[in-house]
Chain A
Amino acid sequence: MSDNHAEYAAYPDTWSEQESPRSPAPAPSAAVTPADTADAARLVSFGLQPKLLPARDAEYAELLRRYQEDPAFARLADAVATGLGLIVLEVSPRAGMAVTAGEDSVFAVRMGDYARRANTDSADRFLHGLAHLAVAAMAFPRPEDLADDGYIGRLTVNGVDGFVRQACLRLEQRAEEQGENTDPATDAPGLEAAWRVYARRSTTGATKDARRLAGSTTGIIAKAVAFLTDSGFLQRTGDENGGSYRTTARYQLQVRDMAGSAALTELLGLGVVPVSDGSATLVPPHEGDDLHLAADAGLPFHS
């Protein structure tokens, strides 16, 4: 506080308004006042409430308008966000002040806080992560869906589970065709193929209190979508098929600009280079595939 003291003393008129925690990037023009900083911080605080819609809040909408029309104010708001350890994805009337947590930010979500079992059980850790990846893949099945700002994805809990299960089934069949023995060595569970971990976890299960079995795959996916709904990324639209959801603009931004590239970087780091020519991999099966014989023939897994 004492550091800021001298700085604020220059603005005796607005002395009482020293709300903003800090203003790390003082604007070049002398027009920026502590009141402006307070407004910029207020806009960031709106961004920290991801379920709040600009269309429902006049003050939020007004601050967004100001962000778009006043470059100095925009820089100020960006600076406040950066100082808090936030990354600004987009500022627009549709997405609001879309910010997300930086890697070491206090706002970041940690796997250990998200699911306690994930700390000790490597299979659970993988399944929780895969659930989030699969939800995104189901929400934006084609590359152009992720790129198209107007696209709204729809998904259901059971649909995501079926999607992943069939991908696993396809891998199992491929392994069988090639005569591979995919049963993992007993003393090296970490070498088990990832799809097997998913395939052998049960889809659902009866519990004594009629809730979803938390450890089942639908339970894990339901936890993921509930969490994403709280993050303002999904909106619940119904109860059918284990719960149906649609995506928000923020989710698209988050997956496109943050999560997708981060995961891809990690994958490249493992030496796996998925080649893509930009066209969808979920395409119709080849001509001549005996569609009526294989149970999963209608699947989007011919790549």
Chain B
Amino acid sequence: MTSPASTDLAPPQLSAGPRPAQGPAADEGLARRLRALACTAPLHDLDARKANLAGEYTVYAMAEIALAAIDLVTLHMDFDTGADHDQVVARLLPRVAAQAPRRPAAEHERVARWVLENLINVGSVDRGFRAVYGTFGTDGVYVRRDYDFKLVEEVPGYGGGVCLRTTDEAVNVLVGALDTDVTSAQIAAEVKLEVLISRGRLADAQLAAEQARYRTVQYAETLRRTLEATRRNVRAVDWLHGVPDMIAEALDHVADRYRHENAILTNIRRARDEAEEPEHKRRAAELVDIVKDCIRRHTQLQSRLLEAGPLFRAEQDRQAFAAPTRYTGLDLYGQLVAPVLPLPVERATRVTDAFFAHGTGLRTPASVRLGDLVDLLLTPPVEREHLGAEMPEPDLIATPDDSRFSERQLADALRLLDLEHDAPRRLSGLLADARATRGDHPDHGEDLAYLVALLAVHAASPPVGTAYRQGEERLLFAVDDGTPLDDPGFGGADLIVGTALLDAAGMAADRTEAT
């Protein structure tokens, strides 16, 4: 049991003192103590039942794991959700592994899950526990009674998921003495913390800080429930005085705590940095984390408080501006739900049965003809079409080849323009070469000359940027030096056509730098 709070297992009512005489009054105290005792039973039960598990699990201290699990769930209870099931298991694993380091990790996880599931009591329909105890009634008759309780309960989380929350019973088992005014208890814990820190007693300080955090969580939980009720029914809440006062008070409280905890944080940080002993340093660092967590929770609480006003106005718009009606109807809550709930379940069922019988509407009964049924059963299942409908064969029409130049002419032209980088040529010379080229067509030479001329004109404005991006090594270029072209087919300048070598490696390096 390393959890500092768990040493205080005794619930508050145990301190009520000895009862002088037997009788209903003494029995009442006894019943409370019996119930408190029952809350610890599931934990003892874990250790008792571990021998029944398939496998050698006696090495694990199940009660310790269970208390640690309750600890974890309590600390991770946030405003809207509870703790995540898998996260709790994951955080339990180091402790489980420490108890039996040589066992496989899968077994550790199994043990952690077993403990958590048993705390929820997954096997029962209520997902809770029941203890039987006996009391003497006021008439002196001995009655056996069932006490139902839960330790960890599953609640709906975001997106339809399931989250875990610890119940009041579990918190009482864990910390004890929580049945006090939350605010004053927190103040007391924090004052204690400050004193402890000023005296340098960090071990005690951590204990006090952790207790303060439990109280912070409980305080947040209290406020969460209040706000939720506000959301449910605007008229149910006194928005003229009650809630605004409460919000103002809570905001003051948050501001106060925030200041307070920041002061503590500064103090502990100094203690952490000045501490010589590694153990002290570590404890101070842990304390910093705890206080930071407290501050985070207060900030969260504050943002909720600020949302409350707009929420009220939106709900009021929705609910309050309904037109008043001429006559009044049945008050479903006041006349049915509220009177039914305190009744014994046997009698209450008669009312709910009546409501069910008349409130569910109608169902048209399905009628089956035997002939249809036989047909239906004998029909072979329809083959599922995975591929969909068959595609019609596309009716392709060959488009006429209307290219101005043939593939061979392009190849010839590129061959002619494949110049050495240090030997540029004049366009007139290239054109003459092109005309001299023989091909499979009488006009081959003339067409080729035209293509070469086009490529040369293109090269007058070479695509340097593209070549740079694509990392090409050579680039065709053409320069006009003022010499006129003397040619039967073309006019203009007799361009100088050449090939430039590009620094491909350098360009590549530049590119990677640029990106």
Q: Which residues of A contact B (CB under 8 A)?
A: 48-50, 86, 99-101, 103, 105-109, 111, 114, 122-123, 125-126, 128-130, 132-134, 136-137, 140-148, 150-151, 158-159, 162-164, 166-168, 171, 179, 181, 183-187, 189-198, 200-206, 212, 215-216, 218, 227-228, 231-233, 239, 241-242, 250, 254-256, 258-267, 269-270, 272, 274, 276, 278-285, 287, 289, 291-293, 295-301, 303
Contacts and interface: CB of A to CB of B under 8 A. Distances in A.
Nearest to B164: A206
Contact of B356 (A129, A281, A285, A299): A129
A132 B359 contact: yes
Interface in B153-167: 153-156, 160, 162
Interface string B347-365: 1111111111111111111
Contacts of A291: 226, 238, 242-243, 245-246
A185 B145 CA distance: 4
Contacts of A283: 235-236
B127 A202 contact: yes
Given A185-B145, A206-B85, A291-B242, A130 B358 contact: no
Given A101-B362, A191-B346, A186 B322 contact: no
B330 interface: yes
A154 to B, nearest CB: 8
B336 A263 contact: yes
Given A186-B145, A263-B354, A107 B362 contact: yes
B145 A272 contact: no
B511 interface: no
A264 B362 contact: no
A203 B155 contact: yes
Interface stretch (B337-345, B398-406, B450-458): B337-345
Contact of A297 (B229, B324, B335, B346): B229
Given A125-B353, A185-B143, A292-B246, A144 B341 contact: no
B102 interface: no
B235 A206 contact: no
Nearest to B363: A109
B222 interface: yes
Interface string B129-148: 00011010000000111111
B109 to A, nearest CB: 16
A270 B347 contact: yes
B345 A186 contact: no
Which of A279, A298, A299 neighbours the largest number of chain B CB atoms within 10 Å of its CB?
A298
Contacts of A200: 126, 128, 148, 150
B230 interface: yes
B236 A267 contact: no
B31 interface: yes
A122 B125 CA distance: 13
A173 to B, nearest CB: 12
Nearest to B347: A270
A191 B349 CA distance: 11
A258 to B, nearest CB: 4
B276 to A, nearest CB: 45
B132 A186 contact: yes
Nearest to B165: A203
Given A185-B144, A261-B330, A136 B359 contact: yes
B325 interface: yes
B510 interface: no
Contact of B357 (A108, A284, A285): A108
A146 B329 contact: yes
Taking residues whose C-beta sits less than 8 angstroms from the other chain, chain B's interface range is 35 or more
A255 B126 contact: no
Contacts of B242: 284-285, 289, 291, 297
25 contacts: A103-B357, A109-B362, A111-B353, A114-B356, A129-B355, A130-B348, A132-B355, A144-B324, A146-B329, A190-B345, A191-B345, A192-B345, A195-B342, A262-B355, A282-B233, A282-B333, A289-B242, A292-B250, A293-B181, A297-B226, A298-B226, A298-B227, A298-B236, A300-B236, A303-B338
Contact of B352 (A215, A261, A263): A263
B225 interface: yes
B160 A270 contact: no
A50 B110 CA distance: 50
Nearest to B330: A260
B72 interface: no
Contacts of B358: 100, 254, 258-259, 262-263
Contacts of B245: 291-292
Contacts of B506: none
A259 B355 contact: yes
A141 to B, nearest CB: 6
B328 interface: yes
Given A137-B337, A200-B148, A258-B359, A143 B328 contact: yes
Contact of B336 (A184, A241, A274): A274
Given A123-B345, A191-B344, A162 B146 contact: no
Nearest to A175: B342
Contacts of B237: 284-285, 298
Given A197-B345, A278-B328, A206 B334 contact: no
Contacts of A202: 126-128, 150, 153-154
Contacts of A228: 360-361
Contact of B344 (A194, A212, A259, A284): A194
B352 A133 contact: yes
A1 B150 CA distance: 64
Given A144-B328, A148-B323, A274 B334 contact: yes
A133 B346 contact: no
A198 B249 CA distance: 34
Contact of A231 (B162, B351, B360): B360
Contacts of B347: 270
B333 A137 contact: yes
B232 interface: yes
Contact of B222 (A122, A133, A265, A295): A295
Which of A215, A255, A292 neighbours the largest number of chain B CB atoms within 10 Å of its CB?
A292
A184 B153 contact: no
B343 to A, nearest CB: 5
A126 B348 contact: yes
B331 interface: yes
Interface string B117-128: 000101001111
B183 to A, nearest CB: 9
Contacts of A166: 229
B344 A205 contact: no
Contacts of B143: 185
Contacts of A272: 339, 343
Contact of A270 (B128, B350, B360): B350
B82 to A, nearest CB: 11
B332 interface: yes
Contacts of B289: none
7 nearest interchain CB pairs? A129-B352, A281-B334, A259-B359, A231-B361, A298-B229, A300-B236, A147-B329
A106 B348 CA distance: 26
Which of B133, B334, B360 neighbours the largest number of chain A CB atoms within 10 Å of its CB?
B360
Given A202-B150, A254-B359, A295-B225, 13 more contacts: A101-B361, A109-B360, A132-B355, A144-B322, A145-B322, A147-B325, A231-B363, A263-B336, A267-B335, A278-B331, A279-B328, A284-B235, A298-B230
